[in-house]
A and B are shown apart, each in its own frame.
Chain A
């Protein structure tokens, strides 16, 4: 069983909804990303989603676009993302790490070989935004074989035929996009999300995560009522962006990098903790429940 499947199983046993925060790897630098990963887990994240930056992120809104531009400007690339995962795994062998990005950088990294390398580095899943099931018939099973769960998006406009086809190729969980648009857009319709998630859950045994458009602890709580996982990206990344902007006067060089890291981490941690608390309230879980170790002995 994959680390992602184990994590969902363990959460289900405790009646808990997964919190999956997203940050772009290397925004603003690799060491800040690594620190954020550990601190977000401590603040209550169950699975981590790391964005692989791409020059042309067609499905992303301005917040994630700018994060990718910052990461690319800082020299981030696929191997650099894997370096971050390897470093993370030295201290945390249990929290699943999902890499989210676009197909071209993965193809440049060898296609299926990129999955082999990611698995070896300790990553657990791929979300390849622009790889729909029709074009993934070879890629998905091959990277599954390497130990990477292939997580696919479902949208409000996916019909039953597509839902079935996607769920057949999906591993780990399926990711329901909770709005008609790009990442970070406004307009979460909690009622529609509830209906669609129930419909998808009737069609698959995989856990269903919900993301795109969850901007606040209140949104997270609404989604936690119906979903197995709550994914929050743009709302976190925009806090990173604000914290970076707030340090524009900091001196250059290593001090500046540290000052930015010091500014970014606490605001993200506070926000993730708020999201966690809001979700726990819905789940009826006490605050210290998530301090307990789960699936001990797990991790490869």
Chain B
């Protein structure tokens, strides 16, 4: 069993970042109002304590095994691979986790931490509703009060997930400010937290926010890459040649990448949402088309105008609809360790359909971005090369969106 979650002593690159104040090179850090300084410091202290605590780690791993259903399979998508030739593609089946996505890894971990800290009320932001559902789920499991902030526009678009959260006992609060989407829900959750610091724990859903969130959320998701590494060695006898994951905030991607940071022969690709195309301006690709700035507590690449106002993001997949990205991705991009590419709505939808028809797996539209890039990359690689795609979530939630694109009303 692992002694520590937050630093794997064997990881050289991985162990060097962030510094003690959460900086990944020039990115990350703690850019918060003074009113949040104490709760963030308390969280940091709790995280530092429990990330090293064998009992905490054992409980987390037990929950992952028996509640989440880990390890998730690593599946060789033979038929899908044959359709384009070149490398063989394997899927990391995070879609088979409880609640249908990787998001639950993080919410289980943070909720256990919240319990340790004596908090009785959980808050979260959500875009598509996946993180909100994963949070409401663990709150129900642990008997904690739960409030989820969700953009009013997203509430209209994601009615089934809103109903799921309510079924699970969460209060879903519509956010009417700003662009009425994920970034505004995050602002609102921060405002709630600052107003209820004594009893409330804020579960951020991605590897963004003030330190320690980017590191902590990464460490709870790093189980994905650790499993892939050992499963690959078991099933194929070697490491993959490339790992691919979609990047919104970037938690599933960092979860996959982290275990491979020091395996320099393993190429890492993060796939941003290109929306209607980078040139259209309607996209969600800050690493590709944004520039560094400060939002939501950390320095990172942002979609912003010349005045430093944050631009609204656009993607067919609500889970990638975020104008920022986790600071570690910003650092991996600048350092050249990972490459970040763009897939448009149309390309993602085409990959979605091909995956459904050849493998009988309905992927989330988010994950379909990673699939679409794999379809481009595989033919350029050698026969026998191996690509791992993080199939970060299942697509049941996207039926309405996909049908609407086809002109079908559900």
Q: A: which residues have CB within 8 A of B? A: 54-62, 65-66, 69, 72, 77-78, 102-109, 129-132, 134-135, 152-155, 157-159, 162, 166, 177, 180-182, 185
Contacts and interface: CB of A to CB of B under 8 A. Distances in A.
B304 interface: yes
Interface in B174-206: 177-178, 183-184, 187, 190-191, 194-195, 197
B333 interface: no
Given A58-B187, A69-B178, A157 B37 contact: yes
A153 B36 CA distance: 11
A180 B197 contact: yes
Contacts of B195: 180-182, 185
A234 B297 CA distance: 24
Given A78-B307, A108-B293, A130-B297, A59 B35 contact: yes
A130 B294 CA distance: 9
Contacts, number: 117
12 contacts: A54-B308, A65-B178, A77-B307, A104-B293, A106-B308, A109-B307, A130-B294, A130-B297, A155-B34, A155-B35, A177-B35, A181-B194
A108 B307 contact: yes
A3 to B, nearest CB: 24
Contact of B177 (A54, A65, A106): A65
Interface in B257-306: 293-297, 302, 304, 306
B194 A56 contact: no
B298 to A, nearest CB: 10
Given A180-B194, A182-B191, A182-B195, A55 B32 contact: no
A162 B37 contact: yes
Which of A58, A102, A152, A157 has most chain B Cβ within 10 Å? A58
A105 B197 CA distance: 28
Given A130-B294, A180-B197, A157 B35 contact: yes
B306 to A, nearest CB: 7
B38 interface: yes
Contacts of B308: 54, 78, 104-109
- A-B complex: 6 closest residue pairs judged by Cβ atoms: A108-B308, A181-B195, A157-B38, A105-B308, A59-B33, A77-B307
Nearest to A62: B177
Contacts of B178: 55-56, 65, 69
A135 B31 CA distance: 7
B38 A158 contact: yes
B309 interface: yes
A58 B187 CA distance: 5
Contacts of B380: none
A158 B34 contact: yes
Contacts of B34: 132, 152-155, 158, 162, 166, 177
A105 B309 contact: yes
B31 A103 contact: yes
Contacts of B304: 104, 108
B315 interface: no
Contacts of A157: 35, 37-39, 197
B35 A104 contact: no
B165 to A, nearest CB: 23
